[in-house]
Amino acid sequence: MSEEDLADRLLVTLDLDGVTDKAALMDRAARALRLPDWFGRNWDALADCLGDRTVWPAAAAERGLLLVVRGWRGYAEADPEEWRIAQEVFAQAAERTRAIAVALLLGGSS
């Protein structure tokens, strides 16, 4: 994927600073991605929404989405198994839906 391709995408930041459980991660994802009220707040529902352009913010549906996850280390340390699942969901979404890219921010995050 080229830098130009990424530059055209809508940037959405998923800030997980202070998140230590799955429920809080799902709430943050719902807010950051402006997911619909029917979003089930579980891994399958998140995977479905990440793979469905019709529920993305309007500009992302047209341009693609760059989801930057920051502040994730606290969650990864608090619940490594759930963090592993989250990473799988993000990776599968990026593999299935070429219109989404997910980046884990290493610097400037907790």
What is the tens place of the pLDDT at every residue in 78-94? Answer: 999 999 999 999 999 99
Better-predicted residue by pLDDT, 86 or 4: 86
Which domains are seen in the chain, by residue range?
3-104 (3.30.370.10)
The whole model's pTM is what?
A: 0.89
Q: Which of 39-43, 68-72, 96-100 shows the lowest mean pLDDT across its residues?
A: 96-100
Contact 48, 91 (CB under 8 A): no
How far is it, in rounded angstroms, from Cα 67 to Cα 12?
5
